[in-house]
Structure 1
């Protein structure tokens, strides 16, 4: 995975969409309530408010959604530093990424019984944010923000490096604990930061988990998915394998793609109630499938019929989901981040 995956596959964000997505994120990253807390109480003193526990990432219904809301805003600030929302993003980051607030976030991670807090989904999104702040185009201020976050970044990198060698099996699910999705985002961080040790560990782990996958049984979507178990594993392997090796691996995984099979992977999921927090996940499934199909297509031969099928599926899924990024907070607090993935990649 290089600095840019576009190569005609990811179309990239135009400014009008970027501003729209940023407006959505700015509306929730500092909204403390409602809030879903994953929190271990070690004693009565641990009954605390979200902002008290997480001085930076207290909004957006939950910690991980707030983190990837910040990533969305960083991506848009990098792409459009003079946009109508750029000043508000800079003000938010300047207020958020201070030594005191970072120390508060780090202190939460260092509490007893937090070893699995936000593992692996929140960790991976956080690392993608940390890498985004240092990308070309963010300038000195981005480097300064990333430097302020460095203690928390080191903590999460260390946790990931400790976790992967003992993770004997992948987690193949359409929810947050999906491991292939996390590896893909973490690989983008490792390569952009030049962390060869982490990149090698991710590659080794992905090969061990998915190297022998073939003739995948596709039992999806389920009623709460926002990730495709099969396509996220393929996107992960697209990120770690040399292109020729990936092409052979993918042909074994889903041999019917050139013929549009299995059909369920090409048809957007139906979302019956966008006010239901888990049914609303299915809009995210459609967006993440669009991202996966494009990441897969980027590694296939341009003349392979599977490439055209993958790109058509990406367009179909994106078109189905884009009109539904706002309107109800159950989707609004997170879907725009997945829309950015779908159109601009990691």
Structure 2
């Protein structure tokens, strides 16, 4: 299963439909006083749509990526026009002002931080290819989040392994992809930190998924390590999940069942299926065609995509974010 222009246009249309949809909205917001009670668009001049801040950020990443991959699709013109209107220095200054609030130190840590870096990285690709101004406009915001990673990682003694927004490996996977191009010092810190957390992990039991998880704690860790270890990755992976050729842990090969897509937490499981597909495909590439796990990894990726791709528009609880994870899965 691969991404073509027809599917890309569908993703783009879905996401353009909610990037500017302010309500319903779930704020990540601490009030220091009565004057801090404000609407999402007053607090966040760019990222006020898509139900929550981080979904709006990665929605922007998604549509910019689609416009770059398929510049001639009809939706690409609308994406570029909206980016010209929204991704401006003035609006970025408003987002930075929010970060400067006394109680915003932990805002969107680390999931939103990582997606903000990914968004800037994608916008910078457009600058390199077409001269679009969005990367330059977003760079101060990316630098602000890079500084937060730089301050936070040395004091995070233990990684967060939950399969939701706090997951450390997912955030570092996106962050190192950005940092290797834009901030080599941060890339070095990420590599040192991740190796310290994960390099000795062995015989992962993969007790997953939890009932509201959208990330596989085991496979996203392996995905991060595939970024870091290069040719040494297969040896690490074989020790980390030593029974895959026997079909164990079976949980990693079995798509999650989603019982109620109108429940925002249960709908996370569609995201799990799509993010697992992304991880399986990434891992298979890192292992190479000759590795005995690769065929099963590719088959598992297809099974997970098949389970959830048809449902990305079933309910707004999924529609506001699932196309991003489908794009990861289909372009890995």
Aligned length: 332
Distance 1:320 1:45 in 2: 46
Q: 1:32 aligns with which of 9, 18, 22?
A: 22
By percentage of residues, which structure has more helix? 2
Q: Is the 8 A contact 1:77 1:138 kept in 2?
A: no
- Relative contact order, higher structure (CA 8 A, sep 6+): 1
Residue aligning to 1:201: 189
**Counterpart secondary structure, 1:275:** coil
Residue aligning to 2:143: 154
Q: Is the 8 A contact 1:77 1:89 kept in 2?
A: yes
1:280 matches 2:270: no
1:231 matches 2:214: no
Q: 2:284 aligns with which of 297, 309, 325?
A: 297
Q: 1:164 aligns with which of 129, 147, 153?
A: 153
Residue aligning to 2:234: 247
Deviations 1:102-126 (A, max 9, x none): 1100000010011110110001011
Distance 1:58 1:76 in 2: 21
Q: Is the 8 A contact 1:78 1:137 kept in 2?
A: no
Greater displacement, 283-292 / 131-140: 131-140
Deviations 1:54-74 (A, max 9, x none): 000000000000000000001
Residue aligning to 2:35: 45
Which runs of 5 or more residues in structure 1 are unaligned? 1-10
Residue aligning to 2:48: 58
Distance 2:196 2:283 in 1: 19
Residue aligning to 1:4: none
Q: Is the 8 A contact 1:258 1:307 kept in 2?
A: no
Give the TM-score normalised by structure 2: 0.98
Residue aligning to 2:107: 117
| TM superposition shift of 1:137 | 8.0
Residue aligning to 1:8: none
Residue aligning to 2:169: 180
Deviations 1:287-328 (A, max 9, x none): 000001111111103111101111111011011111000021
| TM superposition shift of 1:141 | 3.6
| TM superposition shift of 1:12 | 5.0
Distance 1:217-1:268 versus aligned 2 partners, 3 A rule: same
| TM superposition shift of 1:136 | 6.2
Greater displacement, 47-56 / 199-208: 199-208
Deviations 1:198-236 (A, max 9, x none): 111111111011011001121111110100111111111
Residue aligning to 1:267: 254
1:334 matches 2:324: no
| TM superposition shift of 1:41 | 0.3
Deviations 1:148-206 (A, max 9, x none): 1121111111111111111111000010000000000011111233x221111111111
Distance 1:89 1:259 in 2: 46
Distance 2:230 2:140 in 1: 33
Q: Is the 8 A contact 2:124 2:136 kept in 1?
A: no
1:315 matches 2:302: yes
Q: Is the 8 A contact 2:126 2:135 kept in 1?
A: no
Q: Is the 8 A contact 1:259 1:306 kept in 2?
A: no
Which runs of 5 or more residues in structure 2 are unaligned? none
Distance 1:41 1:259 in 2: 52
Distance 1:130 1:95 in 2: 16
Residue aligning to 1:256: 243
| TM superposition shift of 1:16 | 0.8
Residue aligning to 1:132: 122
| TM superposition shift of 1:97 | 1.2
Deviations 1:29-73 (A, max 9, x none): 100000001100011000000000000000000000000000000
